Structure 1
Amino acid sequence: MDADLVCQEIVSRAMALRVAVVTETYPPEINGVAMSTGRLVDGLVAAGHRVDLIRPRQPQEGRAWFEEDTEGIDRVLSRGIPLPRYANLQLGLPARKLLMRRWAHQRPDVVQVVTEGPLGWSALTAARKLHLPVISEFHTNFHSYSQHYGVGWLKRPIAAYLRKFHNRADLTLVPTRDLQRALQAHGIPRVEVVSRGVDTRLFDPARRSEALRRNWGLAPGELAVCHVGRIAPEKNLALLEKAFAAIQQRLPAARLVLVGSGPAAEGLRARCPGAVFAGSRSGEDLAAHYASGDLFLFPSLTETYGNVVAEALASGLPVVAYRDAAAKELITPGQEGLLAEAGDEAGFIAHALSLALSPELRQTMALAARARVADLAWQSIVERLVSLQRQVILSAPLFARR
């Protein structure tokens, strides 16, 4: 390697980066993408990097479009409209001119586009016009979700849009190796894996609360079957109902505990009057709900990852899931939980019943579950992300690195 290039690489590795992060969801919103993005932004700032955070203005926020934060984050607030069926989220409207003015004045080293909505598309367009290195992220199988909302005919157009979107970026990030292979097979060749971390200090079996379990109507030794996540059609909660019904036939005192909210909650509440609907929870409150359970059921087949699986494992909960996404990455069947093959409902129900009836096995799995995610610290995830950001910056034309 040329000596000048060696020096250039050494300087690049040492310098602090200015990263423009464009996302349509961010804490305090409660969903996997928001929480993961918040963790990564915090990690970038903690490592000495500067972040321009571009996101839609929420209804409770003022009209200012720029807020400077003394903690290493400059917030650029764009216009947004409520996302259909996700009333607490904003769909970011295009902001190409605003971003071009901003980035021409304060040029980021790399633009990271988290979501694929109109705001994300306009950010891609602005970055390309300014010759900025761009990384995109693939978080949500929107093309798969469409069939659960009566618009299955949109599946192919959405897949085509996503392919075009991500191929405009220099690199696309996904959380699992399976998803990397799937995107590459569907015509998105430049894909790298950056997993998601879990806060093992927050999600900890030590947060188990007997008082909370009593509030759920459980006596000591009785079974709490938990599910955490959006209560929505795409989460395949009909299978959760079937699996719990099979458990309750054998263990009448068992209780189903659902943490989360969503458009399917009212119907599920009517069908499962004995279930505990805890609503949306966060922080230590959420961690206590995880840790106070005994078994975690996760029947979804539309996840790109599924943060809740890692959080359940960190909380010492054996998991029953399909062999997919985070569950496939993190669970060795028979050690931290049990996995059914995709679409095998009978197998999923049998696994759920098996663990429900095996308290000794659940206890053994609880220890293995906690140990399995012990090394998924967010710091290592951020280091992997920064390494890829530097690679993209170095591979960009010299005029794009000014």
Structure 2
Amino acid sequence: MKKTKVVFFAEILVEEHDGATRTMFQLIRRIPHADFEFLFICGVGPNTVYGFECMRLPTLTLPINKTYKMVLPALAAHSLREKLDSFNPDVVHIATPALLGEFAVKYARQRALPVISIYHTHFISYIDYYLKKAPFLIDFAKAKIISGQRAFYNQCDAIYVPSESMITELSDIGIESYRMKIWKRGIDTQLFSPAKRNSDMMRKLTGNKHPVILFASRLVWEKNLETLFGIYDGLKDRGVKFNMLIAGDGIARKACETRMPDAIFTGKVDHANLSILYASADVFLFPSVSETYGNVVPEAMASGLPCVIADGGGSKDFIEQGVNGFRCSAYMISDYVSKLELLLADERLQQQFSARGIVYSKTFGWDQLATSYFEDLLQLTGQSEETVPLKAIS
């Protein structure tokens, strides 16, 4: 049987860079080598990815977020086209609608190749944060992004979207609904588990017995950090005894340390250590509304950690209000503070949220999601619809 050839375009292919790359690698690690051949095109990444060639292109560091690189395919257009023509792909996977994505979709359309994409990043929600000092530009910038995303995604044959709320938002800006398919995210319930709880470690980290409120995320402004600061201040003003534990790093870390001087900052942590923090904290706080999915919320739930999150973005779909967690009005600091106070004072409610969250998290499985992805690749190329066997994972 002829192998299906997939060319996979992504700006960054570093496994632990962020939630989007972790999602991509969940698929990459499960590629059935007997049935598929992949070629990876990226700006930042290794020379090979799980045994497949990876071609790196010139990049530009973004001034508003130095942790990200924009790929400049025009600087290597000739060699890139030669590489693609030599590989002769059957289907094109595009991670994001940036310059690299625009090059990829144009190449695909010129050669009548099917295109699949995963909606990883809700860029529209970033504008309010990055243009807050130039509010007169916000509407213009949003209109440009919406126009660009509509044009890009309406050229894709299949778009994986992680939540119903995201499908609604994308339909509202003119992305054709028939192209979109609900494709959530998996959770490693062996890694994220209440069994990882380590009270002694947490006591050493905090130096006291006060309850621990955990925020785990990249420290960038689009994570609604101003609201996080307000919640910290509000709890302090109310005389609540608590530890604010911040797991993550980013361009806004210094501002976070200045605004929350008593908070405990771990810096960036790997998933093994993050699983211990989840299981050992008392509440997970997540005010971000910029998520398409928000991997950290189901990870916290799988760890038995009660969640108080924003009623916005894709993350809100995880929470049934008052049943397995609390959703709060996204920018209403008093709403978060009152719900955190209520939860911290009610042990039975904590136990309810924890138990319901664990049960809910068990419905997310990566193997099933990966099988669906590889089957969709075959369908896009008109090949067999039989289930694709997953590569064994060591």
Q: Counterpart of 1:42 in structure 2: which amino acid?
A: R
Q: In structure 1, how many angstroms separate the alpha carbons of the residues matched to 2:43 and 2:120?
A: 18
1:142 is aligned to 2:123: yes
1:225-240 superposed matches below 5 A: 225-240=213-228
Q: In structure 2, how many angstroms separate the alpha carbons of the residues matched to 1:171 and 1:278?
A: 39
Shift of 1:292: 1.7
1:93 is aligned to 2:80: no
Shift of 1:96: 4.3
Provide the aligned length of Structure 1 versus Structure 2.
373
* Correspondent of 2:112 among 118, 131, 144: 131
Name the counterpart of 1:316: 304
Farther off after superposition, 148-157 or 223-232: 148-157
Which TM-score applies when normalising by structure 2?
Answer: 0.87
Name the counterpart of 1:53: 40
Q: In structure 1, how many angstroms separate the alpha carbons of the residues matched to 2:168 and 2:259?
A: 39
Q: In structure 1, how many angstroms separate the alpha carbons of the residues matched to 2:14 and 2:302?
A: 21
Name the counterpart of 1:22: 9
Name the counterpart of 2:391: none
Gap change, CA 1:394 and 1:274, over 3 Å in 2: same
Q: In structure 2, how many angstroms separate the alpha carbons of the residues matched to 1:41 and 1:51?
A: 9
Secondary structure in 1 matching 2:315? helix
Kept in 2, the 8 Å contact 1:310–1:326? The answer is no
Gaps of 5+ in 2: 132-136, 384-394
1:283 is aligned to 2:271: yes
Which TM-score applies when normalising by structure 1?
Answer: 0.85
Farther off after superposition, 205-214 or 280-289: 205-214
Deviations 1:217-269 (A, max 9, x none): 2434x300000112122111222233333434556441000111122221221
Secondary structure in 1 matching 2:275? helix
Q: In structure 1, how many angstroms separate the alpha carbons of the residues matched to 2:13 and 2:276?
A: 23
Q: In structure 2, how many angstroms separate the alpha carbons of the residues matched to 1:17 and 1:247?
A: 55
Gap change, CA 1:88 and 1:234, over 3 Å in 2: closer
Name the counterpart of 2:151: 164
Q: In structure 2, how many angstroms separate the alpha carbons of the residues matched to 1:83 and 1:100?
A: 25
Aligned-pair identity in percent equals 29
Shift of 1:134: 0.8
Q: In structure 1, how many angstroms separate the alpha carbons of the residues matched to 2:21 and 2:234?
A: 34
1:337 is aligned to 2:318: no
1:199-278 superposed matches below 5 A: 199-220=188-209, 222-249=210-237, 252-278=240-266
* Correspondent of 1:362 among 347, 350, 357: 350
Kept in 2, the 8 Å contact 1:257–1:275? The answer is yes
Name the counterpart of 1:109: 90
Secondary structure in 2 matching 1:19? strand
* Correspondent of 1:34 among 14, 21, 32: 21
Gap change, CA 1:177 and 1:92, over 3 Å in 2: same
How large is the Cα RMSD of the aligned pairs?
A: 2.3
Q: In structure 2, how many angstroms separate the alpha carbons of the residues matched to 1:47 and 1:33?
A: 26
Q: In structure 1, how many angstroms separate the alpha carbons of the residues matched to 2:107 and 2:77?
A: 5
1:76-87 superposed matches below 5 A: 76-87=55-66
Gap change, CA 1:388 and 1:309, over 3 Å in 2: same
Kept in 1, the 8 Å contact 2:287–2:330? The answer is no
Secondary structure in 2 matching 1:156? helix
Kept in 2, the 8 Å contact 1:19–1:51? The answer is yes
Q: In structure 1, how many angstroms separate the alpha carbons of the residues matched to 2:208 and 2:338?
A: 25
Q: Counterpart of 1:321 in structure 2: which amino acid?
A: I
1:391 is aligned to 2:376: no
Deviations 1:283-304 (A, max 9, x none): 2112112222110111111211
Gap change, CA 1:235 and 1:83, over 3 Å in 2: same
Secondary structure in 2 matching 1:316? coil
Kept in 2, the 8 Å contact 1:51–1:72? The answer is no
Shift of 1:16: 5.2
Farther off after superposition, 200-209 or 333-342: 333-342
Deviations 1:352-395 (A, max 9, x none): 22112222321232122111111211111112222332332229
Secondary structure in 1 matching 2:55? strand
Farther off after superposition, 243-252 or 367-376: 243-252
Kept in 2, the 8 Å contact 1:242–1:349? The answer is no
Q: Counterpart of 2:60 in structure 1: which amino acid?
A: I
Secondary structure in 2 matching 1:51? strand
Gap change, CA 1:45 and 1:273, over 3 Å in 2: farther
Q: Counterpart of 1:93 in structure 2: which amino acid?
A: L
Kept in 1, the 8 Å contact 2:187–2:361? The answer is yes
Kept in 2, the 8 Å contact 1:124–1:134? The answer is yes
Name the counterpart of 1:192: 181
Gaps of 5+ in 1: 1-10, 62-66, 396-402
Q: In structure 2, how many angstroms separate the alpha carbons of the residues matched to 1:230 and 1:56?
A: 20
Deviations 1:128-149 (A, max 9, x none): 2222111123222222212211
Kept in 2, the 8 Å contact 1:50–1:73? The answer is yes
